Amino acid sequence: MQQARRRLTYANVISSLALFIALGGATAFAVQQLPEKSVGERQLRPGAVTAAKLRKNAVTAPKIKALAVKNGKLANGSVTAPKLGAGAVTSEKLGAAAVTGEKIAGDAVTGDKVVESSLSEVPTANKSNSATTAQSANPIVFARINSDGFVDPSNSKGLTDADVDSPQLGVYCIKVPAFAPRGGQATAQSEGGNKETIAQVKVGGTGECPAPQVEVRTWNAGKAEAVKAAFYVMLYH
């Protein structure tokens, strides 16, 4: 023990302390310099990697697993139209009443997409309805036919002698070439001011004038008998 004290000098103490510090610093330096790929998931404590620890653009699309990004993770307005893939928004993805009138482009809805019963009458369509009535009121065919069944061309339209036949006394069958008449009117032209001669028209065919011919009968109302007589006739489409 006395020999050890005799050998313990100031120089020995200083040199030993310097060696200890040098070895300790080397150990600390060695701890800071970790081998490559030596730190994995098992070496990281929970919560060790925070958002602040990630460098800019460190998390790229290939590093995000499928379905990892939920609705709650998306910022408002972050998904814009250019970021939507073609056909990404289907009818199943649209909420009820999501597509309003303001969101439909002009002329985007075509006729085959519209339920016709949902449309009100077009204002000018009512005029076409009245035009149909006007067409039926305006005779397309009219003629003056004498008692022998001949047509007066100067007072007629749409009929010729070939269109009129008289199978029996007081019966005149009229065939309209252009259409099947749905209505008509006949007026007898009495001779000598005889107002008892009248004319009646029947549309739709009879025993003497099969359809689609029109029958006109002329007779004397006072005597209640058929007579030959001239008449005017108007036929409607």
Position 89 in a domain: no
Q: Do the beta carbons of residue 201 and residue 211 sit within 8 Å? A: no
Please check the confidence at residue 157 and state whether its pLDDT lies above 90: yes
Q: Which residues pair with 42 in a beta bridge?
A: none
pLDDT digits (tens, 9 = 90+) for 40-50: 777 778 877 88
* Reduced DSSP (H G I as helix, E B as strand, rest coil) percent helix, strand, coil of the chain, to 5: 30, 20, 50
pLDDT digits (tens, 9 = 90+) for 180-208: 898 899 999 876 656 789 999 999 888 89
Position 62 in a domain: no
Please check the confidence at residue 9 and state whether its pLDDT lies above 60: yes
Average pLDDT, the chain: 79
Position 154 in a domain: yes
Q: Do the beta carbons of residue 220 and residue 227 sit within 8 Å? A: yes
Distance (Å) of CA 18 to CA 8, 22, 23, 24, 160: 15, 6, 9, 10, 141
Q: 162 by DSSP, 3-state: which?
A: helix
Can you give the pLDDT at residue 97?
78
Position 50 in a domain: no
Report d(CA 143, CA 174) in Å as an integer. 10
Nearest to 219 by CA among 151, 171, 178: 171
Distance (Å) of CA 90 to CA 45, 86, 93, 95, 106: 44, 10, 5, 11, 21
Please check the confidence at residue 171 and state whether its pLDDT lies above 80: yes
Domain that includes residue 229, residue range: 141-236
Q: Stretch 95-109: mean pLDDT, rounded?
A: 80
Position 116 in a domain: no
Position 38 in a domain: no
Can you give the pLDDT at residue 151?
96
Total domains in the fold of the chain: 2
Please check the confidence at residue 25 and state whether its pLDDT lies above 60: no
Position 74 in a domain: no
Name, in order, each residue with C-beta under 8 angstroms of 187's C-beta and a sequence gap of 6 or more.
Answer: 199, 231, 232
Position 225 in a domain: yes
E strands, the chain, in order: 141-145, 164-168, 171-174, 183-189, 197-203, 214-220, 225-226, 230-236
Q: Do the beta carbons of residue 206 and residue 214 sit within 8 Å? A: no
Please check the confidence at residue 95 and state whether its pLDDT lies above 90: no
Report d(CA 233, CA 156) in Å as an integer. 9
